A and B are shown apart, each in its own frame.
Chain A
Amino acid sequence: MRQLLKLKALLFILLSVWMTPASSVAFCALRDPVANIYKLFPEAENYRSITHKIDESVQKQVKKNVPFTVHKDELGQHTLYVAFKDKKPLGLIHARSEVGLWGLVEVVWAFDFKMNVVNFMFQRCREPACQLISSPTFRQFLKGKSSDELLTLLKDKTTAYPQAIENNKAAKELAETVIRSAIKTVQVTKISWAKELKNYLQKPS
């Protein structure tokens, strides 16, 4: 009898909330990129999560702004992290996945509140070129760049990457994947987290 009541209660909840953005992975498997947050902002003491839905309207807006957009598998609930020290916001962290040569490449991005690149780390990367792309040289190459500047890097066929990357085809492909990830992350963050960004821009650290 108790089981039946529980089943009815659950059914009622399910039916009352039956439309939701989904994820094929159970939420117990969700992990914040904790270690990378503190590598990207070493002075941070804690961070705040802000979850928003990336839906088809965001997908369309990104497509309007740049020559590519988020894949339908990237839609759903995503989390933006704000790093804090002494209750002052230091910057933003956003992890995004890209399809690489050998599997998904998960990049954790750090941005300032004007959405310029501060730094990045790989959360997951199984390609031999990952070491080269995560080197200080390439990270310095991207540091401080805006979405427009990153887009110019991608479009401009005369872009000269650091030499070790320029001479390695797989590394160059991964470099372009990482730059595309940065542009998409900036676009998605600006659109989906517009309200929060505005608040933090008004109260700079």
Chain B
Amino acid sequence: MILHFRSKALLILLMCCNVSIIFAEEKKTWLEDVENLRWAVDLSIKGIYNAETGHLSHSEAIGLDLHKVFTTDDGGNIGTLILQGYFTKLNNAERYPSFFKNASDVKFICRICNFNVVVLDQGQLNVRAGHFEIPFGLEHNLDTNGTLRQYSNGRDLGNKLDWGVALNGKFAWGGYEVAISRGHGVDWKSGHDTFIGSGRVELMGDYHSFLGLSAFHGRIKSKSGYINRTRIGLDAGTQFTFFSILAEVSLGKDDNIEKIHSLLEFDLQDNTEKFLGYVQLKDSSRHIKGQSWDSIRQISVGTRYTPNRFWVLSGQWTHDFEVFDGAKRASVLAVQLRYRF
């Protein structure tokens, strides 16, 4: 029933999209009269094929992305509200995050839903409350929610998003964000048996390079019980002509298991930045006491084409060079079509 309804809904929305390409600039909606409000409908379809197993799956997402700045009558900004509500439907997924119930689940996710309130002048202190990205590593600057291109947070920390409170600020030298969150991830659950403390300080070298230092400590629920997870991380990025280099490394422990994660990315963009090509080299290593180091080593080669401000077409191939003992190797091709209107 849900599947049938979803197909119809998608069809109607896609028809709306086609019409909106023609009329989007002429038609005015009631929401445009709301001061400092930006919003967009976000549709995406993703296909995934694992060449090692021959498994084919796809997923769709429909969401409303909303950004509203609140101001005083006679002065500056009070705060910024971001609400991103998305329905995501998996279809025969081979691997999926634990917040989905099964391989063909449909789920509502409030991706980034928080209010960032101005506390001190000159951007020195704001307080963010709600569902936000854990301030750690490259992801803090480069939001990858709903895209094929991903950084280490999901794999390394387990939680990419969490409910909580964060202090943040910007200065001429860079900025900071320090958060305390519930450790539950995507869903709001009762119980106070988990938590995450995290933070990142960023130094801006100039207008095309940065250096970030991050820390993470938390008690997180896993399939086998609870994990005490600690990490420190270093990330950096720089751009020169058509090229960018991004890198991150983290060291830490999951209980008594030592962990090292690293990622190195090379980007190539054209001067309009409509085309992006990238290569990511990823390594996740663990050391269980009394055993030798065990690693997953991957390469991802990806591309993104943004023909205009409505459409984004992405493709990515991720190949496992090496996997943990006993794990199955994967070689995954993913393509995604995204439309925002």
Mark A residues whose CB is within 8 Å of B: 3-4, 6-7, 10-11, 13-15, 17-24, 26-30, 34-35, 37-39, 44-51, 53, 55-56, 72-73, 75-77, 79, 84, 87, 99-104, 121-128, 130, 134
Contacts and interface: CB of A to CB of B under 8 A. Distances in A.
Contacts of B97: none
Given A28-B84, A75-B309, A125-B207, A20 B341 contact: yes
Contact of B67 (A6, A30, A47, A73): A30
Given A19-B23, A45-B122, A28 B64 contact: no
B306 interface: yes
A75 B24 CA distance: 11
Interface size for chain B: under 10, 10 to 19, 20 to 34, or 35 or more residues?
Answer: 35 or more
Contact of A34 (B30, B31, B123, B241): B123
Given A3-B106, A7-B9, A23 B340 contact: yes
Given A27-B66, A102-B271, A48 B71 contact: yes
Contacts of A3: 2, 87, 106-108
A48 B77 contact: yes
A22 B40 contact: yes
A18 B41 contact: yes
A134 B172 CA distance: 16
5 contacts: A17-B29, A18-B41, A24-B310, A79-B69, A122-B207
Contacts of A21: 24-25
A38 to B, nearest CB: 5
B272 A104 contact: yes
Interface of B: 1-2, 5-6, 9, 12-13, 16, 20, 23-25, 27-32, 35-42, 62, 64-67, 69, 71-72, 74-77, 82, 84-85, 87, 106-108, 111-112, 118, 121-123, 133, 142-143, 145-146, 170-172, 174-175, 204, 207-208, 239-242, 269-273, 306, 308-312, 338, 340-341
Nearest to A130: B207
B31 A26 contact: no
Nearest to A6: B108
B241 A102 contact: yes
Contacts of B308: 24, 72-73
Q: Which of B5, B35, B175, B271 has the most CB of A within 10 A?
A: B271
B13 A28 contact: no
A73 B309 contact: yes
Contacts of B270: 103
Contacts of B269: 103
B11 to A, nearest CB: 12
A183 B225 CA distance: 61
A74 B28 CA distance: 18
A14 to B, nearest CB: 5
B122 A104 contact: no
Contact of B143 (A15, A26, A37): A26
B303 to A, nearest CB: 15
Given A22-B40, A26-B143, A45-B121, A4 B62 contact: no
